[in-house]
Chains A and B, each alone.
Chain A
Amino acid sequence: MSRRKLSRRQFVAATALSSAALITAPYVRGAHAAGKLSIGFWDHWVPGANKASTDIVNAWKEKEKVEVTIDYIPSQGNKNLLTIAAEAQAKSGHDILAMPTWWPHAQAELLEPMNDVMADLIKLNGEPNGTVKYLGQAGGKWLAVPASVGSQIKGPCSRIDLMKQHAGIDVQALYPAGAPPKADSWTFDTFLKAAEACHKGGVPFGIGLGETSDNVDTAGAIFQSFGAALVDEKGNLTVKTDAVRQALEFYKKLIAFLPPDAGAWDDASNNKWLVSGRGALIMNPPSAWAVAKRDAPQVAEQCWTHGFPAGPKGRYAPYLAYFWGTWSFSKNKEAAKSLLRALSQPDAIEKMVVASGGYDLPCYEKLTTLKVWQEEAPPKGTLYHYPNPHNHQTLSIAAAPAPPKIAQQIYTQATLTKMCLRYHQGEAMEKVLAWAEGECEGFMRS
């Protein structure tokens, strides 16, 4: 058996080398030196749009040496909502999770504050719109970071030809591409007359009265244009007011000119209505137009997305915000915040907006005039007014300004559209208001 003898000099040298290696080891950046991060993004319906987010994340992970896994969670069947609920129950899950509209408030107690991230992003991108502040903040705390992916305005998308032919309205003149709107005449009176004319012409406006978000969003914007709210910002019931009565009266007149089956419409119904060429106007982000581009190009080239009509109390348009939140029990909050900063850089946001064909809508004031909305076609400029570039209308969400946890119930239970339908079906105004008041009282439970 051979035995190698270790000299004292060799022993000292080896010990010194090993010690040096051990001490310096933590500073060597390995492939995943900064740990792991799991992300649950919303699964975009636009083919290829997910790739933009993946590319941004990949570039970030290479730089930061973080091991990343991404799950794209669809909103079909409310899978995203189920994931949020399950992770909140389990106190375990993704480090970054996409949350639609009301969910940052619904999970407020379990979310990591993002004030530091938002302070930097506001400096960089400008102020977020009022709806995002309403949905994303609680008690001075930013609950989540606004995501451009999935955020949208559900404004009118009109058929240029049918509006001219039946209602005598040139929507391109009201909302010219590349210029501020000249839409002072675009009020709810004009809108109602146009609805009547298009109904007579056999191409009714495609506005639903069902219980899904497209229907509720339109009702919300119309109610707000009349100054009507069911609950005010302090949580007081304001159902039995003249403003609510006026909004209901307006809706009753409007429903007479809508498709007879509007009460059963879901979020797909208005899209199909436009793409099939059966209607002159719908309230939707440019998803219906994008589908028409593929399936009915002759319809797409006549579509023009523009602003909401104005009511007695202003011009409101529904803005649906998406957020990226980090759970307070996340294991890698710092890496999550770093990635959220990377995802909210102006160039990253533009990349994602372009990948979505202009559908995604950042909430920051400096990012509503990206080139993509000026260039998208056909017809050229069709999306120019989609992001509200001239702040022509107030962006809002149905049931605001009620405290968000109450507003979420009003929104989810579709109280506004139900009120309109009940009144339209012959229920007495005061009975409808009493019913809505009872519902809202129930929504206030804590």
Chain B
Amino acid sequence: MADVALQPNRAVTAQTARKRSSLHKMLKRKSTVAFLMTLPLILLIALLVIYPAFYALHLATLNKSMQRFVGLSNFEFLFKRETFWLVVKQSCIFAITAVIFKAVLGFIVAHFVHNIPAKGQRKWRGMLLVPWVIPPAMSTLAWLWLFDPSYSAFNYTLAFFGIGPIPWTGDALWARFSVILVNIWVGAPFFMIMYLAALKSVPDQLYEAAAIDGANWWQRIWYITLPMMRNIIAITTLFSLIVTFANFDIVRILTAGGPLDHTHIFATWAFRVGIEGSDIPLGASVSLFMVPILAIAAIFILRDVNKRGNEA
């Protein structure tokens, strides 16, 4: 018979040690560490994004004096307003046209930059990023001076060639053109830099193989470059679509929605109605109207990206 010292606390100690080691293991797990490290950001997003989003939802369900719950009446009211549908139409024209042009321009410029010898490329990359780096409110002010109704620098220059004066911000079509142009100018460098990064990740061997097979320039673009860049193009487009739909500063500074509301987009009209018109619930409803449009776009684009990811 062996003598065994009686240790009544042994089981508890072992349990504690096990617990400690499992906690230790959990802490050592990469996913836990990642979660803990991103926790401050998650909390920040919860505070600055999720709370305001739910607050906006709450506001959108109140009456004008914010004293009564009215359900979806604000949206019903909006659907009957002519100006609202004008804003919906213009937001779509503004965002879709601007994103298409930004993508096309970004793609072309990215190719040019990609073909510049590495030595001088940094300089060009830096210069081409300037419009994107300057705060849009500031650069739009400069554009405002160029488009000024009475003292436009563009009109001054065009006058030497006997052209104009063009009502850059005074005529509905020209005003739409102007706000879209500035948005393209600001946003195209973002596409350029993203596409440039994608171009640099396409293996040269693919092009070499294509060249051996006798592929021409267009075939190389269509069968190699574009398929290799598809995910980047999709994600960049989605991101830009969201940002462009939600744009405020360019339109606000350049035209403030005029003439005759023909350049208002969701954010500027929400500001006009909510802040300037003291109808915050209606303003919140206008800005929330963007959510389903963008959500549908996001679902389609991300589903496509996911599908291609799985194929890969």
A-side interface residues toward B, CB under 8 Å? Answer: 78, 81-82, 85, 89, 102-103, 106-107, 109, 210-212, 259-266, 269, 272-273, 276, 278, 405, 408-409, 412-413, 418, 421-422, 435, 438-439, 442, 445-446
Contacts and interface: CB of A to CB of B under 8 A. Distances in A.
B260 A418 contact: yes
B280 interface: yes
B170 A212 contact: no
Interface size bucket, B side? 35 or more
B125 interface: no
- Secondary structure at the B interface, as helix, strand, loop or mixed, is loop
Contacts, number: 90
Nearest to A418: B260
Nearest to B272: A412
A212 B259 CA distance: 11
B258 A210 contact: yes
Given A109-B65, A261-B167, A446-B65, A210 B259 contact: yes
A272 B65 CA distance: 39
B258 A264 contact: yes
Given A211-B256, A408-B278, A409-B277, A442 B81 contact: yes
CB-based closest 7 A-B pairs? A261-B149, A264-B170, A106-B278, A264-B169, A264-B149, A412-B277, A261-B170
A106 B83 CA distance: 22
Given A273-B150, A278-B150, A413-B277, A263 B272 contact: no
Contacts of A260: 165, 167, 170
Interface in B15-54: none
B207 to A, nearest CB: 50
A273 B148 CA distance: 12
A425 to B, nearest CB: 8
Contacts of A408: 277-278
Contacts of B280: 85, 89
A421 B259 contact: yes
Contacts of B256: 210-212, 266
A103 to B, nearest CB: 7
B189 interface: no
Contacts of B80: 442
Given A263-B258, A421-B260, A81 B150 contact: no
Given A78-B276, A109-B67, A409-B279, 5 more contacts: A78-B275, A103-B278, A264-B255, A442-B80, A446-B63
B64 A259 contact: no
Contact of B149 (A269, A412, A442): A269
26 contacts: A78-B276, A81-B276, A85-B275, A89-B280, A103-B278, A106-B278, A109-B67, A210-B256, A210-B258, A210-B259, A211-B258, A260-B167, A260-B170, A262-B170, A264-B259, A269-B149, A272-B150, A278-B150, A408-B278, A409-B277, A409-B279, A412-B272, A413-B272, A418-B260, A421-B260, A442-B80
A104 to B, nearest CB: 11
B167 A264 contact: yes
Given A418-B260, A422-B260, A442-B77, A261 B277 contact: no
Interface string B250-289: 0000011111110000000001101111111010000000
B258 to A, nearest CB: 5
